[in-house]
């Protein structure tokens, strides 16, 4: 099964409260994006059906959501109703070299850790550098070193801030890393790290 088929099937067969990653409020993401800039263009990469895009829109940001799953994007659009037309929706695989345009902030919660092949991580790194010009920022949340080893039956690579910085290379300076315990809709606890980078 391809990556797209895997994610489309998941989003087709489960509601948001059956998906382990669903958050009620994306507090850490909003705080770190706010530290990066209080206005501007934000892309939520692998945004799925997250409420983050709506919260960003309400704060006055210009917002795009990119995801490999068209089903996820459709669910997110349906939930937003009329507001959906204010967001740019991009069906794209970040490991396949799409063109996303340019943004002040790149946000990724729980996508990069699925890229266990080095060629996919290299493609992501190049896309990130193309998408975020000098002075822009990236907020990347992944499972932490003491976090889960798998998600949705897929292997993951957990990170801490310095490991993530080493993956992104010298074009992105690590400004800070924060731990977060995500409580899943079923009450499980998952250890994440969120890192804020500046494009140099
Ligand atoms: C664990 S979910 C996280 C969703 C969202 N970021 C959140 O925090 O609620 C991972 C998301 O990444 C998307 N995804 C997985 N691989 C991807 C890829 N190669 N390119 C773009 N999106 C991808 C999936 O469709 C899914 O929506």
Contact 174, 190 (CB under 8 A): no
- Give the strand pairing for 150-151 and 137-143: unpaired
What's the pTM? 0.98
Query: How many helices and strands in the chain, by DSSP H and E?
Result: 6, 9
Q: What is the pLDDT of residues 82-108, one digit of tens each?
A: 999 999 999 999 999 999 999 999 999
Ligand 1 centroid–CA 148 distance in Å is: 16
Query: What confidence score (pLDDT) does residue 178 get?
Result: 98
Q: What is the pLDDT of residues 24-61, one digit of tens each?
A: 999 999 999 999 999 999 999 999 999 999 999 999 99
Q: What string of DSSP letters covers 117-163? A: SHHHHHHHHHHHHHHS-TT-EEEEEEE-TTS-SEETTEE-----HHH
Nearest residue to 42 (alpha-carbon basis) of 66, 14, 23? 66
Nearest protein CA to atom 2 of ligand 1, as residue:
110
Q: Which residues, 6+ apart, have CB-to-CB distance to 157 below 8 Å?
A: 113, 115, 116, 142
Nearest protein CA to atom 18 of ligand 1, as residue:
93
Burial of 19 (0-12, 13-18, 19+ CB in 10 A): middle
Indicate left, alpha or beta for 101 from its phi (over 0: left) and psi (-120 to 50: alpha): left
Nearest protein CA to atom 12 of ligand 1, as residue:
46
Query: What confidence score (pLDDT) does residue 133 get?
Result: 98
Q: Sorting pLDDT into bands at 50, 70 and 90, what band is 2?
A: confident
Ligand 1 centroid–CA 19 distance in Å is: 12
- Look at residue 9 and tell me whether its pLDDT is greater than 90: yes
Ligand 1 centroid–CA 47 distance in Å is: 6
Distances (CA, A) of 27 to 31, 68, 194: 6, 24, 11
């Amino acid at each position: 099964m391809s990556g797209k088929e895997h994610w489309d099937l998941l989003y087709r067969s489960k509601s948001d409260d059956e998906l382990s990653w669903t958050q009620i409020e994306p507090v850490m993401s909003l705080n770190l994006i706010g530290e990066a800039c209080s206005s501007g263009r934000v892309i939520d990469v692998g945004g799925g059906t997250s409420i983050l895009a709506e919260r960003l829109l309400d704060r006055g940001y210009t917002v795009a959501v990119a995801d490999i799953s068209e089903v996820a994007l459709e669910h997110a659009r349906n939930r937003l109703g009329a507001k959906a037309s204010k967001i740019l929706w991009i069906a794209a695989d970040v490991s396949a070299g799409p063109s996303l345009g340019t943004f002040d902030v790149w946000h990724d919660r729980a996508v990069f850790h699925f890229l266990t092949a080095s060629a996919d991580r290299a493609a992501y790194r190049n896309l990130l550098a193309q998408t975020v010009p000098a002075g822009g920022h990236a907020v990347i949340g992944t499972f932490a070193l003491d976090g889960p080893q798998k998600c949705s039956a897929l292997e993951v690579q957990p990170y801490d801030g310095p490991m993530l910085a080493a993956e992104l290379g010298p074009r992105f300076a690590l400004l800070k890393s924060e731990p977060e315990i995500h409580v899943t809709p079923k009450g499980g606890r998952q250890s994440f790290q969120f890192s804020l980078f500046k494009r140099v």
